[in-house]
Amino acid sequence: MPSAPVDKSKSYFPLAGSASDGWSTEEEATATCFCGAVQLKFPTQGPGFVETFLCHCADCRKITASMFASNFIILDTHFTHVRGRENLTVFGQAKTPASQNTMTNHFCSTCGTLMYRVSTGFPGMSILRIGTVDDFHLHETKLKPRRELFVESRVKWLHSLDGVRQFEGMGARESW
């Protein structure tokens, strides 16, 4: 049986994982791992909210176990660990990212959800994951990707997003 239709024009929090205490306001929202042990809080607008993007690079395929990553960038001065920071496993390497930056991944040690990545190429920022954000309305609106990176690596059966800027590799650094 299909579930009842959801009104995506306003905030909605589908049952997704074990936690049910995610929230959002006009300015802020939470992101929670699948088991609920780790929760982050971040701004959804203003100077702390930097950019949103899809990445099709080889690294992102492997680390998401999917075909691309859907990310957003938050200034470290603006994002908070609500709980579970001690439950994050930190793993980084610089061998495979096409940028040659060291990418350090922060996973929930219990459920494996990748909560954010930190790149030596983007000091002072963290790269969070759109799919971990509890209010799914934000996936449709404020967090909708604004650019696609490494489009040359995109699987052939996926098409570019309408109206979204396309870049080979990361694009020119000045464009960020």
Residue ranges binding Zn ion (CB under 5 A) = 33, 35, 37, 55, 57, 60, 108, 110-111
The two tokens of residue 26 are: 């006009």
Q: What angle do CA 8, 146, 27 make, to 5 degrees?
A: 60
Minimal distance, residue 6 CB to Zn ion, in Å: 24
Instruction: Give the residue with the Cβ less far from Zn ion, 27 or 149.
Output: 149
Helix (H, G, I), strand (E, B) or coil at 161: coil
Q: What angle do CA 107, 63, 147 make, to 5 degrees?
A: 105
Minimal distance, residue 105 CB to Zn ion, in Å: 12
Minimal distance, residue 56 CB to Zn ion, in Å: 7
Instruction: Give the residue with the Cβ less far from Zn ion, 9 or 158.
Output: 158
Question: Which 8-state DSSP code applies to residue 136?
Answer: H
115: left (phi over 0), alpha (psi -120 to 50) or beta: alpha
Instruction: Give the residue with the Cβ less far from Zn ion, 31 or 37.
Output: 37
Instruction: Give the residue with the Cβ less far from Zn ion, 121 or 144.
Output: 121
Minimal distance, residue 152 CB to Zn ion, in Å: 12
139: left (phi over 0), alpha (psi -120 to 50) or beta: alpha
